[in-house]
Structure 1
Amino acid sequence: MRRLLTGAAVLALAACVDGTPGDLSGFGDRATTITDTANRDYYPDDQHIVSAKLQFKQENYGKAASLFKQALEVAPTDPEALLGYAAANDMLARFDQSDLAYRQLKPIIGNTVVFHNNYGYSLLLRGNLQGARQHFLAAYEMAPDNPHVANNLELLRNSVNYQRRAKGDLQGI
Protein backbone atom coordinates (compact mmCIF):
# COMPACT_ATOMS: atom_id res chain seq x y z
CA MET A 1 0.00 0.00 0.00
CA ARG A 2 2.80 2.34 0.90
CA ARG A 3 4.57 1.72 -2.39
CA LEU A 4 1.36 2.30 -4.27
CA LEU A 5 0.86 5.73 -2.64
CA THR A 6 4.48 6.69 -3.29
CA GLY A 7 4.17 5.68 -6.94
CA ALA A 8 0.93 7.64 -7.33
CA ALA A 9 2.55 10.75 -5.81
CA VAL A 10 5.52 10.50 -8.19
CA LEU A 11 3.20 10.15 -11.19
CA ALA A 12 1.09 13.11 -10.04
CA LEU A 13 4.14 15.32 -9.64
CA ALA A 14 5.55 14.23 -12.99
CA ALA A 15 2.30 15.25 -14.67
CA CYS A 16 2.74 18.82 -13.33
CA VAL A 17 6.06 19.35 -15.10
CA ASP A 18 6.19 20.77 -18.63
CA GLY A 19 9.16 19.52 -20.60
CA THR A 20 11.98 17.54 -19.10
CA PRO A 21 12.89 17.58 -15.41
CA GLY A 22 16.26 19.18 -16.27
CA ASP A 23 14.48 22.17 -17.84
CA LEU A 24 13.31 23.62 -14.52
CA SER A 25 14.48 26.93 -13.10
CA GLY A 26 14.64 27.87 -9.45
CA PHE A 27 11.14 29.35 -9.63
CA GLY A 28 9.31 26.27 -10.95
CA ASP A 29 8.88 27.48 -14.54
CA ARG A 30 11.05 26.63 -17.51
CA ALA A 31 14.66 27.75 -17.56
CA THR A 32 14.09 29.31 -20.99
CA THR A 33 11.69 31.86 -19.48
CA ILE A 34 14.45 33.42 -17.39
CA THR A 35 15.90 36.47 -19.14
CA ASP A 36 19.64 36.96 -19.18
CA THR A 37 20.35 40.49 -17.90
CA ALA A 38 24.14 40.39 -18.17
CA ASN A 39 24.13 42.89 -21.03
CA ARG A 40 22.14 45.55 -19.14
CA ASP A 41 23.68 48.86 -18.09
CA TYR A 42 24.10 49.79 -14.46
CA TYR A 43 21.83 52.33 -12.83
CA PRO A 44 23.17 55.78 -13.78
CA ASP A 45 23.74 56.89 -10.20
CA ASP A 46 25.94 59.80 -11.25
CA GLN A 47 23.05 61.38 -13.15
CA HIS A 48 21.80 63.15 -10.01
CA ILE A 49 25.29 64.43 -9.14
CA VAL A 50 25.91 65.78 -12.65
CA SER A 51 22.55 67.59 -12.62
CA ALA A 52 23.12 68.85 -9.08
CA LYS A 53 26.54 70.27 -9.94
CA LEU A 54 25.04 72.09 -12.91
CA GLN A 55 22.30 73.58 -10.72
CA PHE A 56 24.88 74.59 -8.13
CA LYS A 57 27.01 76.38 -10.74
CA GLN A 58 23.91 78.22 -11.94
CA GLU A 59 23.28 79.26 -8.31
CA ASN A 60 20.05 77.27 -8.06
CA TYR A 61 20.97 76.04 -4.61
CA GLY A 62 17.53 74.69 -3.70
CA LYS A 63 17.40 72.47 -6.78
CA ALA A 64 21.02 71.46 -6.23
CA ALA A 65 20.30 70.45 -2.63
CA SER A 66 17.31 68.40 -3.76
CA LEU A 67 19.32 66.62 -6.46
CA PHE A 68 22.23 65.95 -4.11
CA LYS A 69 19.73 64.49 -1.63
CA GLN A 70 18.43 62.18 -4.37
CA ALA A 71 22.01 61.13 -5.09
CA LEU A 72 22.44 60.33 -1.39
CA GLU A 73 19.36 58.10 -1.53
CA VAL A 74 21.12 56.06 -4.23
CA ALA A 75 24.55 56.04 -2.51
CA PRO A 76 24.33 57.29 1.12
CA THR A 77 28.09 57.40 1.71
CA ASP A 78 29.17 59.03 -1.56
CA PRO A 79 31.60 61.80 -0.54
CA GLU A 80 30.88 63.90 -3.62
CA ALA A 81 27.14 63.85 -2.95
CA LEU A 82 27.68 64.62 0.74
CA LEU A 83 29.99 67.55 -0.05
CA GLY A 84 27.58 68.95 -2.60
CA TYR A 85 24.61 68.53 -0.27
CA ALA A 86 26.47 70.30 2.53
CA ALA A 87 27.62 73.14 0.26
CA ALA A 88 24.16 73.70 -1.24
CA ASN A 89 22.60 73.80 2.21
CA ASP A 90 25.31 76.21 3.37
CA MET A 91 24.35 78.57 0.56
CA LEU A 92 20.69 78.27 1.61
CA ALA A 93 21.68 78.95 5.26
CA ARG A 94 20.29 75.51 6.20
CA PHE A 95 23.17 74.88 8.55
CA ASP A 96 21.32 72.12 10.41
CA GLN A 97 21.28 70.04 7.21
CA SER A 98 24.84 70.90 6.25
CA ASP A 99 26.05 69.94 9.74
CA LEU A 100 24.47 66.50 9.32
CA ALA A 101 26.28 66.06 6.02
CA TYR A 102 29.62 67.24 7.45
CA ARG A 103 29.23 64.82 10.38
CA GLN A 104 28.69 61.96 7.95
CA LEU A 105 31.52 63.16 5.76
CA LYS A 106 34.20 63.50 8.43
CA PRO A 107 34.81 59.74 8.92
CA ILE A 108 34.82 59.20 5.16
CA ILE A 109 37.28 61.86 3.94
CA GLY A 110 38.35 63.25 7.31
CA ASN A 111 41.54 65.26 7.39
CA THR A 112 41.70 66.40 3.74
CA VAL A 113 42.05 69.76 2.03
CA VAL A 114 38.56 69.54 0.54
CA PHE A 115 36.89 68.84 3.88
CA HIS A 116 38.73 71.59 5.78
CA ASN A 117 38.20 74.12 2.99
CA ASN A 118 34.46 73.42 2.66
CA TYR A 119 33.78 73.23 6.37
CA GLY A 120 35.81 76.39 6.93
CA TYR A 121 33.70 78.18 4.33
CA SER A 122 30.57 76.94 6.08
CA LEU A 123 31.82 78.39 9.36
CA LEU A 124 32.70 81.64 7.59
CA LEU A 125 29.13 81.93 6.30
CA ARG A 126 27.85 81.46 9.86
CA GLY A 127 30.14 84.19 11.18
CA ASN A 128 32.39 81.83 13.15
CA LEU A 129 35.63 83.43 11.97
CA GLN A 130 37.91 81.69 14.49
CA GLY A 131 36.64 78.24 13.51
CA ALA A 132 36.86 79.13 9.82
CA ARG A 133 40.45 80.28 10.30
CA GLN A 134 41.43 76.99 11.96
CA HIS A 135 40.04 74.95 9.08
CA PHE A 136 41.45 77.23 6.37
CA LEU A 137 44.90 77.08 7.96
CA ALA A 138 44.70 73.29 8.21
CA ALA A 139 43.83 73.17 4.50
CA TYR A 140 46.60 75.67 3.69
CA GLU A 141 49.20 73.56 5.51
CA MET A 142 48.22 70.55 3.40
CA ALA A 143 48.10 72.41 0.08
CA PRO A 144 49.72 75.85 0.11
CA ASP A 145 49.39 76.17 -3.69
CA ASN A 146 45.63 75.51 -3.77
CA PRO A 147 43.89 78.61 -5.20
CA HIS A 148 40.57 77.81 -3.47
CA VAL A 149 42.20 77.78 -0.06
CA ALA A 150 44.05 81.03 -0.83
CA ASN A 151 40.79 82.68 -1.95
CA ASN A 152 39.01 81.58 1.21
CA LEU A 153 41.82 82.93 3.38
CA GLU A 154 41.48 86.23 1.52
CA LEU A 155 37.72 86.20 2.15
CA LEU A 156 38.40 85.59 5.82
CA ARG A 157 40.90 88.45 5.91
CA ASN A 158 38.33 90.77 4.30
CA SER A 159 35.60 89.60 6.69
CA VAL A 160 37.70 90.58 9.69
CA ASN A 161 38.08 94.12 8.32
CA TYR A 162 34.33 94.78 8.14
CA GLN A 163 32.20 95.60 11.16
CA ARG A 164 29.61 93.14 12.34
CA ARG A 165 26.15 94.61 12.44
CA ALA A 166 23.09 93.50 14.32
CA LYS A 167 20.02 92.34 12.39
CA GLY A 168 17.94 95.30 11.36
CA ASP A 169 20.81 97.78 11.83
CA LEU A 170 20.63 98.97 8.23
CA GLN A 171 16.84 99.23 7.89
CA GLY A 172 16.85 103.02 7.69
CA ILE A 173 19.04 103.06 4.59
Structure 2
Amino acid sequence: MHFGGNSRFPARLIRTVSFALGTSLLVAGCQTSSLDASMGMESGKTRSGGVAGDDLSVGKAHFRDGNYGLAEAHFRKAVELQPDDAEAWLGLAATYDQLGRFDLADRAYEELLGLAGRRPRIINNIGYSHLLRGDRKRARELLMEANAALPGDPVVQANLALLNKS
Protein backbone atom coordinates (compact mmCIF):
# COMPACT_ATOMS: atom_id res chain seq x y z
CA MET A 1 0.00 0.00 0.00
CA HIS A 2 1.37 3.42 -0.94
CA PHE A 3 0.47 6.18 1.50
CA GLY A 4 2.05 9.21 -0.18
CA GLY A 5 -0.65 9.90 -2.76
CA ASN A 6 -3.59 8.51 -0.87
CA SER A 7 -6.07 11.21 0.10
CA ARG A 8 -6.94 9.20 3.21
CA PHE A 9 -3.39 9.84 4.43
CA PRO A 10 -2.43 13.40 3.44
CA ALA A 11 1.25 14.26 3.10
CA ARG A 12 1.20 16.39 6.27
CA LEU A 13 -0.13 13.45 8.29
CA ILE A 14 2.53 11.16 6.81
CA ARG A 15 5.29 13.64 7.72
CA THR A 16 3.95 13.98 11.27
CA VAL A 17 3.63 10.24 11.60
CA SER A 18 7.12 9.71 10.23
CA PHE A 19 8.45 12.19 12.76
CA ALA A 20 6.55 10.53 15.59
CA LEU A 21 7.84 7.11 14.56
CA GLY A 22 11.32 8.47 14.00
CA THR A 23 11.39 9.82 17.51
CA SER A 24 9.70 6.86 19.05
CA LEU A 25 10.23 3.68 17.07
CA LEU A 26 9.84 3.32 18.22
CA VAL A 27 10.75 4.66 21.30
CA ALA A 28 12.16 1.25 21.70
CA GLY A 29 14.98 1.81 19.40
CA CYS A 30 14.64 3.51 16.06
CA GLN A 31 17.13 5.94 17.48
CA THR A 32 20.03 4.64 19.53
CA SER A 33 18.19 3.84 22.73
CA SER A 34 17.60 0.22 23.52
CA LEU A 35 14.37 -1.46 24.53
CA ASP A 36 15.84 -1.96 28.00
CA ALA A 37 16.22 1.77 28.61
CA SER A 38 13.07 3.01 26.94
CA MET A 39 10.64 0.39 28.22
CA GLY A 40 12.20 -0.48 31.53
CA MET A 41 12.96 -4.04 30.49
CA GLU A 42 14.60 -6.03 33.22
CA SER A 43 14.20 -9.44 31.67
CA GLY A 44 16.97 -9.29 29.11
CA LYS A 45 14.59 -10.22 26.30
CA THR A 46 16.31 -7.94 23.82
CA ARG A 47 18.80 -8.40 21.06
CA SER A 48 22.09 -10.00 21.79
CA GLY A 49 23.93 -8.85 18.71
CA GLY A 50 25.33 -11.18 16.09
CA VAL A 51 23.40 -11.83 12.90
CA ALA A 52 20.02 -11.05 14.49
CA GLY A 53 21.42 -7.76 15.81
CA ASP A 54 22.76 -6.92 12.36
CA ASP A 55 19.34 -7.48 10.82
CA LEU A 56 17.77 -5.40 13.57
CA SER A 57 20.12 -2.49 12.86
CA VAL A 58 19.60 -2.71 9.10
CA GLY A 59 15.84 -2.97 9.61
CA LYS A 60 15.86 0.21 11.70
CA ALA A 61 17.87 2.06 9.05
CA HIS A 62 15.47 1.00 6.30
CA PHE A 63 12.50 2.00 8.47
CA ARG A 64 13.96 5.46 9.10
CA ASP A 65 14.47 5.84 5.34
CA GLY A 66 10.91 4.80 4.58
CA ASN A 67 11.96 1.54 2.90
CA TYR A 68 9.34 -0.52 4.68
CA GLY A 69 9.55 -3.57 2.44
CA LEU A 70 13.28 -3.89 3.13
CA ALA A 71 12.75 -3.09 6.81
CA GLU A 72 10.16 -5.86 7.04
CA ALA A 73 12.56 -8.42 5.56
CA HIS A 74 15.27 -7.57 8.09
CA PHE A 75 13.00 -7.36 11.12
CA ARG A 76 11.38 -10.65 10.12
CA LYS A 77 14.80 -12.30 9.81
CA ALA A 78 15.80 -10.87 13.20
CA VAL A 79 12.74 -12.37 14.91
CA GLU A 80 13.27 -15.68 13.13
CA LEU A 81 16.87 -15.81 14.36
CA GLN A 82 16.04 -14.57 17.86
CA PRO A 83 12.34 -15.02 18.64
CA ASP A 84 12.65 -13.53 22.13
CA ASP A 85 13.91 -10.16 20.84
CA ALA A 86 11.19 -7.69 21.82
CA GLU A 87 12.86 -4.82 19.99
CA ALA A 88 12.79 -6.76 16.71
CA TRP A 89 9.10 -7.62 17.21
CA LEU A 90 8.35 -3.95 17.82
CA GLY A 91 10.14 -2.99 14.62
CA LEU A 92 8.32 -5.69 12.70
CA ALA A 93 4.92 -4.59 14.04
CA ALA A 94 5.53 -0.92 13.21
CA THR A 95 6.73 -1.87 9.75
CA TYR A 96 3.62 -3.92 9.09
CA ASP A 97 1.59 -0.89 10.18
CA GLN A 98 3.36 1.23 7.59
CA LEU A 99 2.74 -1.39 4.93
CA GLY A 100 -0.95 -1.49 5.83
CA ARG A 101 -0.67 -5.15 6.88
CA PHE A 102 -2.59 -4.71 10.09
CA ASP A 103 -3.35 -8.43 10.36
CA LEU A 104 0.38 -9.14 10.57
CA ALA A 105 0.97 -6.11 12.80
CA ASP A 106 -1.56 -7.52 15.27
CA ARG A 107 0.32 -10.83 15.37
CA ALA A 108 3.63 -9.06 15.94
CA TYR A 109 2.14 -6.86 18.69
CA GLU A 110 0.71 -9.99 20.31
CA GLU A 111 4.18 -11.58 20.36
CA LEU A 112 5.64 -8.34 21.69
CA LEU A 113 3.11 -8.11 24.51
CA GLY A 114 3.89 -11.72 25.42
CA LEU A 115 7.59 -10.90 25.66
CA ALA A 116 7.60 -7.41 27.16
CA GLY A 117 4.23 -7.12 28.87
CA ARG A 118 1.75 -4.29 28.60
CA ARG A 119 4.20 -1.39 28.58
CA PRO A 120 2.93 2.14 27.92
CA ARG A 121 5.15 2.69 24.89
CA ILE A 122 3.91 -0.52 23.34
CA ILE A 123 0.31 0.50 24.02
CA ASN A 124 1.08 3.86 22.40
CA ASN A 125 2.30 2.09 19.26
CA ILE A 126 -0.74 -0.18 19.18
CA GLY A 127 -2.96 2.88 19.61
CA TYR A 128 -1.18 4.53 16.69
CA SER A 129 -1.74 1.36 14.67
CA HIS A 130 -5.47 1.65 15.29
CA LEU A 131 -5.34 5.31 14.28
CA LEU A 132 -3.80 4.29 10.95
CA ARG A 133 -6.64 1.80 10.46
CA GLY A 134 -9.25 4.46 11.07
CA ASP A 135 -10.41 2.83 14.30
CA ARG A 136 -10.58 6.07 16.24
CA LYS A 137 -12.48 4.64 19.21
CA ARG A 138 -9.92 1.90 19.92
CA ALA A 139 -7.04 4.28 19.15
CA ARG A 140 -8.37 6.74 21.74
CA GLU A 141 -8.75 4.03 24.38
CA LEU A 142 -5.19 2.82 23.87
CA LEU A 143 -3.62 6.27 23.59
CA MET A 144 -5.42 7.42 26.73
CA GLU A 145 -4.07 4.35 28.53
CA ALA A 146 -0.56 5.23 27.37
CA ASN A 147 -1.10 8.86 28.34
CA ALA A 148 -2.22 7.90 31.85
CA ALA A 149 1.02 5.97 32.33
CA LEU A 150 3.22 8.54 30.57
CA PRO A 151 1.62 11.94 31.21
CA GLY A 152 3.13 14.64 29.05
CA ASP A 153 5.13 12.23 26.90
CA PRO A 154 5.72 14.05 23.60
CA VAL A 155 5.16 10.99 21.40
CA VAL A 156 1.91 10.05 23.10
CA GLN A 157 0.83 13.69 22.95
CA ALA A 158 1.63 13.85 19.23
CA ASN A 159 -0.44 10.73 18.60
CA LEU A 160 -3.35 12.15 20.60
CA ALA A 161 -3.09 15.37 18.58
CA LEU A 162 -3.21 13.34 15.35
CA LEU A 163 -6.24 11.51 16.64
CA ASN A 164 -7.99 14.76 17.49
CA LYS A 165 -7.26 16.18 14.02
CA SER A 166 -8.51 13.14 12.15
Q: Same fold (TM over 0.5)?
A: yes
Distance 1:138 1:92 in 2: 25
State yes or no: 1:146 paired with 2:140: no
Which is worse superposed, 80-89 or 102-111?
A: 102-111
CA deviation vs aligned residue, 1:27-50 (integer Å, no higher than 9, x gap): xxxxxxxxxxxxxxx734311111
The residue that corresponds to 2:94 in the other structure is: 87
Letter of the aligned partner of 2:123 in structure 1?
Answer: H
Q: Which has the higher contact order (CA 8 A, sep 6+)?
A: 2
Distance 1:77 1:127 in 2: 30
The residue that corresponds to 2:83 in the other structure is: 76
Q: Alignment partner for residue 53 of structure 2, among 40, 46, 51?
A: 46
The sequence identity of aligned pairs, in percent, is: 40
Q: Alignment partner for residue 136 of structure 1, among 131, 136, 143?
A: 143
CA deviation vs aligned residue, 1:86-117 (integer Å, no higher than 9, x gap): 00010000111111101111122222111111
| Higher helix proportion (structure 1 or 2) | 2
Give the structure-2-normalised TM-score: 0.68
Distance 1:158 1:66 in 2: 33
The residue that corresponds to 2:66 in the other structure is: 59
Distance 1:101 1:123 in 2: 14
- Cα root mean square deviation, aligned: 1.2
The residue that corresponds to 1:168 in the other structure is: none
Distance 1:70 1:60 in 2: 16
Letter of the aligned partner of 1:61 in structure 2?
Answer: Y
Letter of the aligned partner of 2:95 in structure 1?
Answer: A
Q: Alignment partner for residue 164 of structure 2, among 157, 161, 165?
A: 157
Distance 1:57 1:137 in 2: 26
Gaps of 5+ in 1: 1-41, 160-173
Distance 2:79 2:51 in 1: 13
Structure 1 runs (4+) greater than 3 angstroms displaced: none
Gaps of 5+ in 2: 1-48
Distance 2:80 2:114 in 1: 19
Letter of the aligned partner of 1:150 in structure 2?
Answer: Q
Distance 2:165 2:122 in 1: 22
CA deviation vs aligned residue, 1:142-172 (integer Å, no higher than 9, x gap): 111211000000000001xxxxxxxxxxxxx
- Aligned pairs, number: 118
CA deviation vs aligned residue, 1:49-91 (integer Å, no higher than 9, x gap): 1110000000001100110001011111211000100000100
